[in-house]
Structure 1
């Protein structure tokens, strides 16, 4: 079991982890403030820079109006414009740096673990602050042998069983890879797993049953009663001409088989629904033999 929204939040700036506003197990929304790192006076620098930006903007706007009226020199206009744009860029850079001090939720989910305690010194790219997990967007990724590439496709029904929970869910394949792994001749499929109650956790063991074939009127017989002749034809023994005494004739029926599962196989042709077949003793009878049918 996996989820695409399971990440550890790292610090993007240096400083002291000043405040932690959440606790483990708490549900949070995307964009919610989770923690704050001491900005070391950066907020004051932003305020001062914004005052300077306002001055350079006013100077530029006045110089532009004069230049539009052909008053003053072009160099004065270009210098005012350059000063304003440079100050604007400087303010934006400071604001970007300041924003890194505020830790916000990248998506809605649950705070799974508070890794760094309040008051600790953190550094960018190295300090793990907390883990956030969204259990509503769960999925399973598994590998399927290449001989199923035509039948195991996007949209196929899947039953996912969770032995530990004693539950199962019905879902579908949402993605089937187009790449065959040359090492083991398999391709990957991704199965979405609904998790409304959030009782399914990442890395939980699951068992998948993928419906690669469906036949509404399949005729199934035990695999153990099928034999093969010298021509490679498969056959079973059926009974016919049953009389009132329960006596019947054994006949060999050449059959064509299809898909198999566990200990049964589908019969595509050779017998019809309702045909009585010999199961017990199928290996010890012969074609044309008379037998007595006993019902248990």
Structure 2
């Protein structure tokens, strides 16, 4: 009996303890909002809307910028304030109709302006005594290039000196015979002979001077048997073939000087394009490797076709004050053929490559949207838009590359 009493008491005690434990668990259950916090701690992603206000606050406490996700869902839109646009140097332009010149491009090469290029050669055979300039050196008109010793120069100067003395002697004889003839002391025949001798001496002197003057121009007398080669105009020494001690002749190419302040862009024109390339036509010379371009006009179109190329040679004359256009540089010559009106055009700098396709950034109410476009003719920094843009649309011009960079960053963040 006592044993049964103990068993019944134990059962009652266990039942009481179980009910108490269940009551404690129910009373101590955390609120629903804090349960969401625990759920976030386990690394799983829960809908922020299902959680309460505290759940959203805890979700933003990790320092991440969640509003960017909402922008990504709306498409390729970049939101920038007016201050951000100004700071980035972004300028807005309006797409609209424009007159564009239809152009076609031909390969060409920068060369010397042959009207301002001189091949300086010795005027007489001789031996080089000194060279005063180096290859690539800039010289002014009259600057000394080289000194050459020549036996022929010595002979010419001796001939000139003898002719001068003969003229002086013939002049004295003539004046004496003239006085004697006037005083009836000598015959008229002697007077006439003296006058003839004087005229012959003067002719010989003139010939000697002409021979000596042949050394003038690029060559200037240096005295004795030496003469100097001097620069005929301002330019650059682009070729030098003289060294001291070298024997030279009239056929020796001593120096080549060129005035590089003006150069030629020479290109070949096929027969089918000759009708479109005329003297005076606008042309743009571009060097893609150096990111240089300059506008000019076609200055010359050859009348004959080359035997090898069967094409005509044409050129554009370019001003080159800073020497950036160097002879030998390969270029593209874009020649304008005719002008036409296009309904929609934008500056070329407004076009960027997005996902391998040309695109512009259109300004809308929400921000800038990257919009793919089809392009047409280009002229004078403008490009025709065939599709993807309407007249009146505002697009980012200068500084559009900043938007392309921001778009790339946004796409990278969404990928993660």
> Normalization by structure 2: what TM-score?
0.46
* Residue 161 of structure 2 is aligned to residue 48 of structure 1: yes
**Cα separation, partners in 2 of 1:120 and 1:183, compared to 1, 3 Å:** closer
Per-residue displacement from partner, 1:251-281 (whole Å, max 9, x unpaired)? Answer: xxxxxxxxx969x99x9xxxxx99xxxxxxx
Q: What is the aligned counterpart of 1:143 among 268, 283, 289?
A: 268
Q: 1:201, CA displacement in angstroms? A: 1.6
**Bigger radius of gyration:** 2
Q: 1:184, CA displacement in angstroms? A: 6.4
Could you tell me how far apart the structure 2 residues matched to 1:165 and 1:46 are?
Answer: 58
Could you tell me how far apart the structure 2 residues matched to 1:121 and 1:159 are?
Answer: 47
Could you tell me how far apart the structure 1 residues matched to 2:240 and 2:285 are?
Answer: 32
Q: Point out the structure with the larger helix share.
A: 2
CA contact (8 A) 2:167 2:205 kept: no
CA contact (8 A) 1:56 1:87 kept: no
SS in 1 for 2:168: helix
SS in 1 for 2:237: strand
| Greater CA drift, 11-20 or 38-47 | 38-47
SS in 2 for 1:118: coil
SS in 2 for 1:89: helix
Q: How many residues align?
A: 228
Equivalences for residues 11-22 of structure 1 within 5 A: 11-22=122-133
Q: 1:191, CA displacement in angstroms? A: 0.7
Q: 1:110, CA displacement in angstroms? A: 0.9
CA contact (8 A) 2:119 2:257 kept: yes
SS in 2 for 1:128: coil
Could you tell me how far apart the structure 1 residues matched to 2:121 and 2:157 are?
Answer: 25
Q: Which ranges of structure 2 fall in alignment gaps of 5 or more residues? A: 1-109, 221-226, 345-375, 392-416
Q: 1:102, CA displacement in angstroms? A: 2.2
Q: Which has the higher contact order (CA 8 A, sep 6+)?
A: 2
Equivalences for residues 1-296 of structure 1 within 5 A: 1-3=110-112, 4=114, 5-40=116-151, 41-42=154-155, 45=158, 48-49=161-162, 51-56=164-169, 58-59=171-172, 62=175, 72-73=188-189, 74-96=192-214, 99=219, 101-125=227-251, 127-179=252-304, 186-215=311-340, 217-218=341-342
**Cα separation, partners in 2 of 1:94 and 1:177, compared to 1, 3 Å:** closer
> Normalization by structure 1: what TM-score?
0.62
Q: 1:136, CA displacement in angstroms? A: 1.6
Could you tell me how far apart the structure 2 residues matched to 1:22 and 1:148 are?
Answer: 45
Per-residue displacement from partner, 1:80-139 (whole Å, max 9, x unpaired)? Answer: 3123312331243244358573212233201234322123222221x3323322212211
SS in 2 for 1:197: coil
Q: 1:153, CA displacement in angstroms? A: 1.6
SS in 1 for 2:197: helix
Q: Which ranges of structure 1 fall in alignment gaps of 5 or more residues? A: 221-259, 268-272, 275-296
